[in-house]
Amino acid sequence: MAGTKRGWLAAVLVLCVMSLAGFAPVRAIEQFASHALGALEGVLSEWMPSEAVERDPQATARARDAHAAYLESVSGAFDPADTDGDGAGLLVPVVSRSPDRYELVLRVPAGAVAVGAPVAHRGVLLGFVHRLGEDDTRATVALLGHSAARPVAGEWKASEAARPVWFLVRGREGDMHVSGRSSTVGPRPDQLAWTRDVGRLGDDLPPGLVLGRVVTGTRDAPGGGLVDDPDTEVRLQPVLDPYDVDVVGVQAKPGHALSTRTVGAALSRTSRAPGRWRVDVGTTSGVRTGDWVIQDGVFVGVIVVAGRSSSEVVDRVPAGLALVIDDSGGADEVVPCTPDVAGWPDDWRPRSGQLVAGGHLAYGGFLLGEVGAVGDDGWRLIRSRIDPHRAVTIVEP
Amino acid sequence: MTLLLLLLAVTATQIHVVADAWLGPAAPDPTVCLAAFCGLYWPRGTLPLAALALGWGRAMVLVEPAGGQVLCALVALALVATQRDDNSTSEGGYALVWAALTVSLAWAAAGWLLGQFTDVPIKAGRELFLGSVLALPFVRLAPVTARVAGFVTT
């Protein structure tokens, strides 16, 4: 008898520890008991007080527009809406950086990007997708200084009326070397160079993307000192630090239609706690841990445990930049930033009450909440209220 | 019997969630009464199973990892069980109320302690103490129920 008791006790204790440690199989098995919830959900939910959540429909619309505008600005020359042309611009996060190898690694939608796809940030060409891994969801980008990055046709113009100087850019040991110049005319100081339209030669790289700033070598000047020497090797200096970029635009495969796994669900009204909800769908409906839950354009949270027929949602904002909609100038201006001061643009401060948006490539923009108190160390996000009576949509992040 | 207890724990906590929506922090949690009953009458050999059912059911409704609530229930049931007299069901009419208070105290203390070592959400606060008041109407019913369930024979 005592042995049986000790056995039960040991088993329960082990399960408790695994549960507290967040051991996924145990947390998923815990959801089996959710079947017991259904019996009274229908009856008791009728006794719940009506929690009318009033939402400003304009707020979700502005959040959606803000995300679209942000997508367009970062994707640059790759039109986010161009799904049947040369390839839409996808806004994707940088997940790792290798300055030693002149590479970035991006998380991309499976099958959406091909090797060789150009990668840009706000109109600046960064490099090209060099290889794909992990079921085509990780794209390694060879930056322009990488020897594996293909040569790029570029041009600079000494003045608006001047004849452009054409050249090729090749990568070598992290530097962008200029070769094959069409003219020996030297660049002006701080001369910028752009990609050139060579579509007739079969290169569909969008023209007008900034390649970098032209720098030349130096030679001894008569009387001492150094002066620029356009006859020496010309290089391009990046105009932005590619390792400091969090999101980039990458050209999708032509005709690629953005799609994502979405599941409709209902929030449980009798099984919840502040900041935590239960949804009535699980792995059998295709829900996975980490999926995002959205209600009528308002972000609810993230699935933290996916059981067979129910899942747990926690109020957690997706990592990365938030888009503050700054309307102080009359029109909406989208400011991508983080809640802490270090992530704010120079000479800018958010104001309490400004809307904060987020976004999903396929779903579009959604409302996260609004700026709360603004202090010296950052701003606090006040999350939008969730209506337990309304259905939600679960989307693959 | 354990499954029935799980169902009752889920139901009791669901009722608490509804009460919480109306009353806020003043809403009692009837799970305490169930735990007090189990502490007083549940067979000692399978007491960990009773704790599992109570904690799991409560955690399920509160959308928490079950481990925290089960450990709290285990501590609470064990404490009540050490005080009980297995040979009598009539050791004072208010045994259930005292047991409920003990359960509340032990559950809340265990929850607080676990909260110091883990970042797992564990709800174990005033709703438990308020819930022990709900034991009052059941002081006479509890021994009868224990006999009917076959937990005690005297």
> How many CB atoms are closer than 10 A to CB B145?
13
Confidence (pLDDT) at B154: 60
The gap from C-alpha A308 to its chain's centroid, in whole angstroms, comes to 30
**Average pLDDT per block of 10 residues along chain B, 154 residues long:** 89 91 89 92 87 92 91 92 68 78 93 90 89 86 83 69
Instruction: Tell me the chain A residues in contact with residue B123 when contact means C-beta distances shorter than 8 Å.
Output: 273
Confidence (pLDDT) at B71: 93
Confidence (pLDDT) at B87: 56
**CB-CB: which of B6, B47, B61 is closest to A270?**
B61
Which of B7, B46, B61, B71 best probes binding to A when mutated, by most A CB atoms within 10 angstroms? B61
Is there a contact between B52 and A15 if contact means CB atoms under 8 Å apart?
A: yes
Confidence (pLDDT) at B76: 93
CB A256 within 8 A of CB A96: no
Transcribe A192-235 into DSSP letters.
EEEE---GGGT--PPTT-EEEEEE-EEEEPTTSSEEEETTS--E
* pLDDT, mean over chain A: 83
Q: Is A42 on the interface with B (CB under 8 A)?
A: no
Q: Per-residue confidence at A84, pLDDT binned at 50, 70, 90?
A: very low
Q: Is A16 on the interface with B (CB under 8 A)?
A: yes
Distances (CA, A) of A179 to A151, A166, A169, A203, A233: 10, 9, 6, 18, 8
**Is A116 a residue whose pLDDT tops 60?**
yes
Q: Tokens 């007083």, residue? A: B40
Which of A15, A16, A37, A314 best probes binding to B when mutated, by most B CB atoms within 10 angstroms? A16
Kindly state the greatest CA–CA separation across chain A. 102
Whole-complex ipTM: 0.83
Q: Is A312 on the interface with B (CB under 8 A)?
A: yes
- Nearest-CA distance from A107 to chain B in Å? 29
